[in-house]
Amino acid sequence: MEKEFEGKVVFVTGSGRGLGRAIADRFAELGADVAIHDLSWTSPAKYGEAADLGEAAAAIARSGVRCVAVEGNIGDRGAIEAMAAKIHAELGPVDVLVNCAGGDIGAAGGKPNPNNALDISEEDIRTLTNNNLIGTMLVCQVFCKPMVERGSGAVVNIASAAAHFGTSPEVVYSSLKAAVVHYTRCLAAELRPHGVRVNAVSPGPTKTARFVNTRVVDPAMMTAGKSLVRYGEPAEIADAVVFLAGPRARFIHGQVLRVDGGMTLYAG
């Protein structure tokens, strides 16, 4: 396999588990040194994917790359600066940033309930905004400035298919992911002269451990026959992310790629 990212340093937020972990694994397969991250050291254990961040990092390092693990809330600038210092000291400057941390997880830990526009609690609105929008913006502030100084880098923000159509419930989550898509365009406008590319991926429903453990899944959507009417595989999202972060996407900037098997076949 071509080691397209050999010599590059990649930081994936929310990569102790789920989609972020699949993305980190893919970059490591392609030769990148990888910094993984989660809210806490034991967050990867929540749905049984790894005992902790140390175990996840050791598994990634077995593919022959360097891997460091950092933890902390992406809504806390001090925590992000500490992550950046550790990654820089152990791996060097970050070439690729993937903002994957987030999700429809409210203040109490599960999905907000109620989760519609008129009834969702203010506490859940603030938690979702921290996890999906403020966190993404703060991580970009800390990690993109050194990219601008070096005149190179790539950012991929993970939004959602839910960002692209009106929906209830999941109103606040969907609105925040739409904001992530538009933030991607605005950041792209700002960084265009500096050679730092910024794009987004909007996954459709994808079979992460959290996804299958927090809902009643449709068995007909779980299998991968010829039909595209199914849930996505985490590796299918990871393939889109490495494409946008890599050299074959060198003139693609400010775009959002919907990776949902055609679930959202309309403009915008």
Ligand X SMILES: NC(=O)c1ccc[n+]([C@@H]2O[C@H](COP(=O)([O-])OP(=O)(O)OC[C@H]3O[C@@H](n4cnc5c(N)ncnc54)[C@H](O)[C@@H]3O)[C@@H](O)[C@H]2O)c1
Stretch that binds ligand X, among 87-95, 96-104, 140-148, 182-190 (CB under 6 A): 96-104
**Nearest one of 196, 168, 170 to 184, comparing CA atoms:** 196
Beta strands in 73-217, from DSSP E residues, in sequence order: 96-99, 153-158, 196-203
**39 versus 142: smaller Cβ distance to ligand X:** 39
Nearest approach in angstroms of CB 159 to ligand X is 7
**Binding of ligand X by 100 (CB under 6 A):** yes
Stretch that binds ligand X, among 12-20, 52-60, 87-95, 240-248 (CB under 6 A): 12-20
CA 256 distance to own-chain centroid? 13
d(CA 56, CA 44) in angstroms, rounded, equals 8
**99 versus 197: smaller Cβ distance to ligand X:** 99
Judge whether 266 counts as a catalytic residue: no
Out of 50, 74, 241, 249, which residue is the one contacting ligand X (CB under 6 A)? 74
- How many other C-beta atoms are found inside a 10 Å radius of the C-beta of residue 217? 14
What 3-state DSSP class applies to 142? helix
Site string for ligand X, 39-68 (x = CB under 6 A): x---x-------------------------
Nearest approach in angstroms of CB 151 to ligand X is 29
**Binding of ligand X by 129 (CB under 6 A):** no
**Binding of ligand X by 175 (CB under 6 A):** no
**Binding of ligand X by 160 (CB under 6 A):** yes
Angular region, 97: left φ>0, alpha ψ -120 to 50, beta rest: beta
User: With contact defined as beta carbons under 8 Å apart, do 41 and 71 qualify?
Assistant: yes
On the CB side of 265, how many CA atoms lie within 13 Å of its CA? 5
Stretch that binds ligand X, among 71-79, 86-94, 145-153, 238-246 (CB under 6 A): 71-79
What 3-state DSSP class applies to 237? helix
User: With contact defined as beta carbons under 8 Å apart, do 9 and 32 qualify?
Assistant: yes
Nearest approach in angstroms of CB 249 to ligand X is 20
Kindly report the CA angle at 186 between 252 and 118, in degrees rounded to 5? 120
User: With contact defined as beta carbons under 8 Å apart, do 146 and 94 qualify?
Assistant: yes
Nearest approach in angstroms of CB 1 to ligand X is 24
Q: Which of residues 244-263 bind ligand X (CB under 6 A)?
A: none
**Binding of ligand X by 158 (CB under 6 A):** yes
Q: How many residues bind ligand X (CB under 6 A)?
A: 27
Residue whose tokens read 């994917």 = 49
What is the binding site for ligand X (CB under 6 A)?
Answer: 14, 16-20, 38-39, 43, 73-75, 100-103, 130-131, 135, 158, 160, 203, 205-206, 208, 210-211
Query: Which residues belong to the active site?
Result: 173
